[in-house]
Structure 1
Amino acid sequence: MSTPSPVGLLLDVDGPVASTQTRTVPDGIVATLVRLAGRGVPVGFNTGRSADFLLHSVIGPLRATGLPADAPFFAVCEKGAVWFPFSAVPAGTLPEVTVDAPAPAWVRTDPAMALDPGLRERIWELSRERAGDLQFVDRTKLAMVSLEMRVGADQAAYEAVRDDVAAGVEEMLAERGLADEVRVDPTVISVDVEHRSSGKDLGVDRCRALMAEAGVPVPGRWFTAGDSRTDYAMADRLHAIGLAVEHLDVRPADGIPATPYPVLTAADLAGRGVGNAEDVHERAGESLLRWVERDLLD
């Protein structure tokens, strides 16, 4: 077995890695991730995003910048319902992965976490009725249902229709007797409808299993990063199994909860000589990656 990296990373995608405004990954983050891959740092992308989004918005740019084929990078999508190692993705043109066609064999899914197709269609219809052009349905989700703000839409206007749609979906679930099985999770840019077993803690377990299958040694020190309270579940899970972890909150405006592990913000990273104290979202995420590369690997 190879020598373990001194550090591992578990990253939410929207916010710490991809811009919530453009849905793209900045070049600086792409380049830093490729360098970390070359140094054997395991990275799990633990996200509510779909496999298709990871393929085209994360893996595509990373490969174009020189990501090694055997990089210890892993994708856990749809909050644990879909997962795969980057190394399983064939070279060449990346496939489209949508709910309308069978997924590639290397994309793993949990059928027990998939919403019923009839319910999915009714939720999509509700979104069209209540949100109009401010929100679109994400047909790349294989298990959960996501209704997402259109790029360029006014944030305040979107949040009003988002909350109305979320309330409508909750009423629908209650009428169908599904409220104990399925939950509604409004985010900054979406309404996610998902199985209650979904979560970033499940994503940690999926990622650890992928690492074990690939023979990647588990680092003793971890950093997690996210932009919402639900992302703290990554650090909670790592701490619970006895691993040293620090969590970067890239959008601490909601307040930082009490935790048994350190919580970082952009201000903390600025104090360590990277980024600016006022950075949020992907700018703070890039600062974390730069700090790990500069101070923990040399």
Structure 2
Amino acid sequence: MHNLGLLFDVDGPLASPVTRTINVRSIVTDLVAIAAAGVPIAFITGRSGDFIRHQVVAPLLDAGLGDALEQQGARMFGVFEKGGAWAAITADGMGEVTVDESVAFSPEAVDGIRSLVRERFADTMFFDETKRAMISVEQRTDVESEVYKEAQPRFEDAAYDLLTGMGIGLRHGERSTPGADGTVPFRIDPTIISTDIESVLLDKDRGAQRAFEYFAERGPLPRRWRSVGDSRSDYKMADYVHDAGFEVAHVDVRPADGILDRPYEVITIGDAIHDDAGAEFLAHWRRELGLE
């Protein structure tokens, strides 16, 4: 077994933030080759299980992932909605998604945000019907980023007012409103292409922990890990690994947002960003592991 494990955010390092699909072919083939070599790989994302099944696992299977995961020591896992849902990925494909219902919204809250988007913001964004533990509203791919950026804060303010008006405890930036029970269990978390409304218990460190537990049940864990992401919250994957006592470095594929000060190494890939940087990272490790 190679002394390496990989934790990936999906949007940015693997999937283009513009098309929301894997556009760089070598990302697919390198992931398959590295998985076949026994390197445990987890996708830890805010995306839904349906998205990962169709946009990530399906092209990997087409490129030979089934055979790769039949190899001794090969392990792959998906954590979705920032830890609110998860599934094994095996030679047979992605398994049934398990959802942590304890962090999910009520149907009334979900319906309220769905209606808000449909009635006031459908020209710039859409309601993600595939989410099961969190609420996500995403930029339409036919809308320019600057147009979406203007609409996004207006949507977030409207969503905040709607949900707090329903007695749901919520925070957004500097604003915080306790719910009817006096607690604030949810937050609004904007990204460059979406707004997530989610439990405060959900984040990338929770996802990393779940992936480690899955991998540890199926074999020894490597001591050396790399996490890869484009958001500041993605550093939390490496935070978990570091705190668990493993060697880790985090690869930041959008460092212009600000490299965080951490007790482990933070790596950037020259001038490359997003999936171009992700492709270079994977190509490096395929060479390093002698898999060419």
The alignment's TM-score, normalised by the length of structure 1, stands at 0.87
2-side partners of 1:5 and 1:171: how far apart? Answer: 51
Query: Which of the residues 132, 140, 151 maps onto 2:141?
Result: 151
1-side partners of 2:219 and 2:105: how far apart? Answer: 33
Secondary structure at the aligned position of 2:242 is classed as helix
Which ranges of 4 or more aligned residues in structure 1 deviate by more than 4 Å?
none
Residue aligning to 1:138: 128
Query: Which of the residues 10, 18, 22 maps onto 2:7?
Result: 10
Pairwise mapping of residues 1-298 of structure 1 onto structure 2 (< 5 A)? 4-25=1-22, 26-67=24-65, 68-70=68-70, 71-87=74-90, 90=92, 106-175=96-165, 176-179=167-170, 180-213=184-217, 215-267=218-270, 278-296=271-289
Q: CA deviation at 1:174?
A: 2.9
2:103 touches 2:201 (CA, 8 Å); kept in 1?
Answer: yes
2-side partners of 1:260 and 1:297: how far apart? Answer: 29
2-side partners of 1:66 and 1:254: how far apart? Answer: 36
Q: CA deviation at 1:177?
A: 3.6
Deviations 1:215-235 (A, max 9, x none): 132110010011111111011
Q: Which amino acid aligns with 2:199?
A: H
Q: CA deviation at 1:69?
A: 4.0
1:113 touches 1:195 (CA, 8 Å); kept in 2?
Answer: yes
Deviations 1:244-291 (A, max 9, x none): 111111011111121101111112xxxxxxxxxx21100001111111
1:47 touches 1:79 (CA, 8 Å); kept in 2?
Answer: yes
Secondary structure at the aligned position of 1:197 is classed as coil
Secondary structure at the aligned position of 1:193 is classed as strand
Q: CA deviation at 1:84?
A: 1.1
Q: Which amino acid aligns with 1:36?
A: I
Q: Which amino acid aligns with 2:196?
A: D
1:21 touches 1:152 (CA, 8 Å); kept in 2?
Answer: no
2-side partners of 1:297 and 1:244: how far apart? Answer: 21
1:5 touches 1:217 (CA, 8 Å); kept in 2?
Answer: no
Identity across the alignment (%): 41
1:6 touches 1:297 (CA, 8 Å); kept in 2?
Answer: no
1-side partners of 2:79 and 2:290: how far apart? Answer: 25
Q: Which has the higher strand share?
A: 2
2:69 touches 2:75 (CA, 8 Å); kept in 1?
Answer: no
2:35 touches 2:69 (CA, 8 Å); kept in 1?
Answer: no
2-side partners of 1:243 and 1:296: how far apart? Answer: 20
Mark the runs of 5 or more structure 2 residues left unpaired by the alignment.
171-183
Deviations 1:180-207 (A, max 9, x none): 1111111010010111100000001110
Deviations 1:136-182 (A, max 9, x none): 11111111111011113100100111111112222233332422111
1-side partners of 2:119 and 2:289: how far apart? Answer: 51
Secondary structure at the aligned position of 2:122 is classed as helix
Tell me how large the CA RMSD over aligned residues is: 1.6
1-side partners of 2:120 and 2:241: how far apart? Answer: 40
1:84 touches 1:210 (CA, 8 Å); kept in 2?
Answer: no
Q: Which amino acid aligns with 2:211?
A: C
Q: CA deviation at 1:212?
A: 2.4
Mark the runs of 5 or more structure 1 residues left unpaired by the alignment.
95-103, 268-277
Distance 1:133 1:221, change over 3 A: same
